[in-house]
Amino acid sequence: MSDKQIPYKIYLEESELPKAWYNLRADMNNKPAPLLNPETHKPMTASDLSGIFCDELIAQELDDTTHYFDIPKEILDFYKMYRPAPLVRAYCLEEKLQTPAKIYYKFEGNNTSGSHKLNSAIAQAYYAKKQGLKGVTTETGAGQWGTALSMACSYLGLDCNVYMVKVSYEQKPFRREVMRTYGASVTPSPSMETEVGRKILAEYPGTTGSLGCAISEAVEKAGSNEGYRYVLGSVLNQVMLHQSVIGLETKAAMDKYGIKPDIIIGCAGGGSNLGGLISPFMGEKLRGEADYRFIAVEPASCPSLTRGKYAYDFCDTGKVCPLSKMYTLGSSYIPAPNHAGGLRYHGMNSTLSQLYADGYMEATTVTQTEVFKAATEFARVEGILPAPESSHAIKAAIDEALKCKETGEEKTILFGLTGTGYFDMVAYQKFNDGQMENYIPTDAEIQASLDKLPKID
């Protein structure tokens, strides 16, 4: 099909939308290693997990053979609020770069939570509701996941308790207010509400909190309250399953117009967006039906794939969650305080980790000043003010497009634009004022954290 017949923004028709999530693990010969019980070091069973997670989500988490899971009608109905997400041809960016490459991006930011996180939030809230639970607990850092979850819970009439890292709660009050507007209770962490919170406050009276501590509080709260479960917005394979809707829609839109991407790029924190975007394309690659280059883009300050170790580690700093085999910097690794660009997770989803270990995917790092420069360049020509996280992918896409300019190749580049940066203007301000700094950890720093990895036989 000629370029002229392809709409500038592709919105699928309702009849063309995915009706089932795709479970990439089912097409892998080398399955991701199982989650381990943090005490016994034996593979986690459904009953081990049932006090923490909802039953159907546990089933999805542990299933590496079922290819497709039907999306419940209630979730499809909710999707209608903000899906389909458009697949956009970045004509203006191409012109700005004077590249022969064709650049597409899948934009997931057209909803109030401002990111792709809503895709899994509604799924997790739905299964909690279906199980007859009263509510869910979770943690949030800057607040993207907490916002998404509060929207989903509000829609379903489910109670939503968010533990928000205290420093974010105080310094980034706007996402907190979005959550409250959606009816969530938002507690600065550490709090006096939980045993672990009280213990940490007694030990470190002035602490401003950490994501690891907030996870521990949310897990304790779920475990100690009848009718509550804990939910998590990234890292888990259930999340990647829900997020496959990103890739399925993208692939359907591209197939409809006969577009085949050569390179697929996603930013990589815990892996929820990257995994979701690449899933159906990676499935084709695993089955030998097509070939693509996949590039995971990490912040230079938190480089789990590129500089971490492939090993069993705790998913949380508080070490209460199961052990996962993944590329990790060690659960005690914390990015430098000047890191403003999100993607601060120490590890990586286990499925993506296995694929990377097996050579199916590349990874690269970018510094945050490069990221904000790319974000600004993108905003000025494409209109959308991107989230810092998404801008990691923009930076890598621009680099690939500039390589095409040198070689004259007309490659088709696809990247995931996961969200908007409206709540990240403090970071933009730093960049605009020329006060943003980069941080690249030394090998010794990373090694110090890796030295604390749990010993698994």
Residues making contact with a second copy (CB under 8 A): 7-9, 11, 14, 80-82, 92, 110-112, 114, 151, 154-155, 173-174, 177-178, 180-183, 376, 379-385, 420, 422-423, 425-426, 428-429, 432
Strand partners, 264: 294, 414
CA separation for the pair 434, 244 (Å, rounded): 38
Nearer to a second copy, 168 or 420 (CB): 420
The smaller minimum CB distance to a second copy, of residues 40 and 435, is found at 435
* CB of residue 14 to a second copy, shortest distance in Å: 6
Please say whether the dihedral angle defined by the alpha carbons of residues 50, 18, 179 and 106, taken in this order, is positive or negative. Answer: positive
Q: How far is the CB of 428 from a second copy (least distance, A)?
A: 5
Tokens coding 184: 């969530």
Regarding beta strands 228-230 and 135-140, do their DSSP bridges make them parallel or antiparallel, or are they unpaired?
parallel
CB of 336 or CB of 379, closer to a second copy: 379
- Please tell me the distance from the alpha carbon of residue 248 to that of residue 24, in angstroms, as a whole number: 11
- How far apart (Å, rounded) are the C-alpha atoms in residues 47 and 64? 17
For residue 84, whether the previous peptide bond is cis, meaning omega lies within 30 degrees of 0, is yes
5 three-state secondary structure: helix
Q: Please, which residue, 83 or 339, has the CB nearer to a second copy?
A: 83
Q: Considering the complex, what minimum distance in angstroms separates the CB of residue 17 from a second copy?
A: 12
Residue closer to a second copy, measured from CB, 143 or 303: 143
Shortest approach of a second copy to residue 126 CB, angstroms?
Answer: 15
Minimum CB distance to a second copy, residue 42 (Å): 42
Beta strands of 168-267 (E only): which ranges? 185-189, 228-230, 263-267
* Closer CB to a second copy, 48 or 108, in the complex: 108
DSSP assignments along 141-191, one per residue: SSSHHHHHHHHHHHHHT-EEEEEEEHHHHHH-HHHHHHHHHTT-EEEEES-
Query: In terms of CB distance, is 126 or 182 closer to a second copy?
Result: 182
Residue 355 half-sphere exposure toward CB, CA atoms < 13 A: 28
Considering the complex, what minimum distance in angstroms separates the CB of residue 274 from a second copy? 24
Secondary structure (DSSP) of 421-449: -TT-HHHHHHHHTT--------HHHHHHH
CA distance 303 to 321: 22
The residue among 7 and 258 lying less far from a second copy, judged by its C-beta, is 7
Residue 95: CB minimum distance to a second copy, A: 11
The CB-of-10 to a second copy minimum distance in angstroms stands at 11
